[in-house]
Amino acid sequence: MTRPVLNNTAARRVFLDRHALHETPQGPAHGDALASLITRLGFVQLDSINTVARAHDLILFARRPRYRPKALDTLYQRDRALFEHWTHDAAVIPMEFYPQWHMRRTRDAERLKKAWSKDRRAGFEAQYQTVLDHIRENGACSSSDVGTGEKKGSGGWWDWHPSKTALEYLWRSGALAVTGRSGFQKRYDLTERVIDKALANPAHAPDTEQTIDWCCTQALDRLGFANHSELAAFWGHIRPAEAQIWVKHALARGSIIAIDVENADGSLRGAFARPDLPYDPAIQTPPSPRLRILSPFDPALRDRKRAEQLFGFHYRIEVFVPEPKRTYGYYVFPILEGDRLVGRIDMKAFRAEDTLKIRALWPERGVRWGKGRTTALNTELSRMLNLAGVGQITFAPNWLRTQL
């Protein structure tokens, strides 16, 4: 039997729709509306780099330009509509998903104890009770509030002092919860003070099979189509072999089908999808043509290999590359226009100078950057000024470059 083929245009449209980048970026961006957007995405990755705005703020702004960071802080720290834990990295996640992290916390308890005993400062396990007692008596704390008298390291994960490692371990394994951040530094509290008892009760948590089913089902709904490795990687806490078994059973049930997806270069790759995907309304609807600037950690781009297959867009972040060896720049932002990634821009907000400085923009090969796109870029940059906390834009000489 011939498998359905999703052509590249249709695949891009479905993928962008699932990532809330297909429709016009507009609408309310606080309260229930913002919570609904985050639930639609599944989670929003947190990142500390703030050359223009932090990654989580850019992710939400790209979809709702009325978004302001205070709205996320309110949802997370006041309303407790979100919790923080790990997917592929630290992220804020809808609170109703908390029970689905029970398996992750249980697995992390075993895995991290072994790994960190080798990789990090010795003695962190002896600090568990001391840290818990400190928080119970004094309330939420950060890593700087514990470990008085312990030798402080460089700040890198490999050189955390034992009490900081204990804090992280107790959070990752479930005894503590992150209650918010101050200056991007996590504040930890006892889980029972942060998470509703019904959600945190291990007796109410799904078992391993139920968690795997939830992870794969929810991942597929948020990707549109995926192979088993992509399903496993979406939330980050099931194994590819577990996703592969789920796929086998889901195919037998008829709840998914095997398809071929056309890549940007015309080649085909196998994937799995819902049976009605070939009739998805997004396929017949052109995406918003609006130009928008994405975070390098946008959920549509975090899988670099998939972005290259689907959009023909090769991207590697160069934060950890020595400056002389960088191809583009320290923190370069991809540019989306319709269903195409049309370029990348190197820019930074200099808040002391009240200026967003544009160093360089590289159009993708085959993209002509004329007056129309320059006007659209200026419009989008102007929208970003408030988020960046500056009032004006400047362009470096020869800012418009040739694709390398």
Under CATH, which architecture does the 291-395 domain have?
A: 3-Layer(aba) Sandwich (3.40)
User: How far is 295 from 58, CA to CA, in rounded Å?
Assistant: 6
Give the torsion sign (CA, 396, 402, 403, 404).
Answer: negative
Q: What single letter denotes the amino acid at residue 141?
A: C
**Per residue in 225-246, pLDDT tens?**
999 999 999 999 999 999 999 9
* pLDDT score of 160: 63
pLDDT (mean) for 43-69: 97
* pLDDT score of 226: 98
* Ramachandran area for residue 23 (φ above 0: left; ψ -120 to 50: alpha; else beta): beta
Across 53-67, 122-136, 209-223, least confident range: 122-136
Two structure tokens written together for 381: 């940059």
* pLDDT score of 150: 56
Determine how many CB atoms are found less than 10 A away from the CB of residue 244. 15
In sequence order, which residues have a C-beta less than 8 Å from that of residue 222 and are 6 or more positions away? 18, 19, 40, 41, 42, 234
More confident call, 329 vs 155: 329
pLDDT (mean) for 175-196: 95
Q: Where are the domains of the chain?
A: 102-203, 206-284, 291-395
157 pLDDT tier (thresholds 50, 70, 90): very low
* pLDDT score of 114: 85
Give the torsion sign (CA, 47, 113, 159, 238).
Answer: negative
Determine how many CB atoms are found less than 10 A away from the CB of residue 208. 13
User: How far is 352 from 354, CA to CA, in rounded Å?
Assistant: 6
The answer, yes or no, to whether residue 158 has pLDDT greater than 50, is no
The answer, yes or no, to whether residue 55 has pLDDT greater than 90, is yes
* pLDDT score of 1: 65
Write b or e for each residue in 225-238: b if 16 or more Cβ atoms lie within 10 A of its Cβ, otherwise e. Answer: bbbbebbbbbbebb
* pLDDT score of 152: 53
pLDDT (mean) for 67-88: 97
- Which CB contacts under 8 angstroms, 24+ apart, belong to 197-206? 199/95, 199/96, 199/98, 199/99, 200/98, 200/174, 202/102, 204/99, 205/99, 205/102, 205/103, 206/99, 206/100, 206/102, 206/103
206-284: which CATH number, 2.40.50.140, 1.10.10.10, 1.10.357.10, 3.40.50.150? 1.10.10.10
What's the chain's average pLDDT? 94
Q: How far separated are the first and last CA of the chain, in Å rounded?
A: 43
* pLDDT score of 404: 67
* This prediction's pTM: 0.94
Across 118-122, 252-256, 284-288, least confident range: 118-122
User: How far is 170 from 63, CA to CA, in rounded Å?
Assistant: 34
Across 9-23, 318-332, 349-363, least confident range: 318-332
User: How far is 163 from 355, CA to CA, in rounded Å?
Assistant: 40
- Strand residues in 12-164 grouped as ranges (E): 44-45, 82-86, 90-94
Task: Check if CATH label 1.10.10 holds for domain 102-203.
Answer: yes
pLDDT (mean) for 57-71: 98
102-203 and 206-284: identical CATH topology: yes
**Per residue in 290-314, pLDDT tens?**
999 999 999 999 999 999 999 999 9
* pLDDT score of 161: 77
* pLDDT score of 392: 98
Q: What single letter denotes the amino acid at residue 222?
A: R
* pLDDT score of 399: 97
**Per residue in 375-393, pLDDT tens?**
999 999 999 999 999 999 9
DSSP states of 302-339: SSHHHHHHHH-------TTS-GGG-SS-SSEEEEEETT
* pLDDT score of 115: 82
- Which CB contacts under 8 angstroms, 24+ apart, belong to 18-24? 18/221, 18/222, 18/223, 18/224, 19/222, 19/298, 19/299, 19/300, 20/63, 21/62, 21/63, 21/287, 21/292, 21/300, 21/336, 22/282, 22/285, 22/287, 22/288, 23/287, 23/288, 24/288, 24/290
* pLDDT score of 120: 58
* pLDDT score of 2: 84
In this prediction, what percent of the chain has a pLDDT beyond 90?
88
Q: DSSP 3-state assignment of 260?
A: strand
pLDDT (mean) for 16-24: 98
Q: CA separation (Å) from 143 to 146, 162, 163, 167, 168?
A: 6, 10, 7, 7, 9
The answer, yes or no, to whether residue 356 has pLDDT greater than 80, is yes
User: How far is 246 from 231, CA to CA, in rounded Å?
Assistant: 10
Which residue is listed with tokens 């989580």? 56
User: How far is 361 from 382, CA to CA, in rounded Å?
Assistant: 16
Q: Supply the Cα-derived Rg of the chain in whole angstroms.
A: 22
pLDDT (mean) for 172-182: 95
**Per residue in 91-129, pLDDT tens?**
999 999 999 999 999 999 999 888 887 765 567 888 899
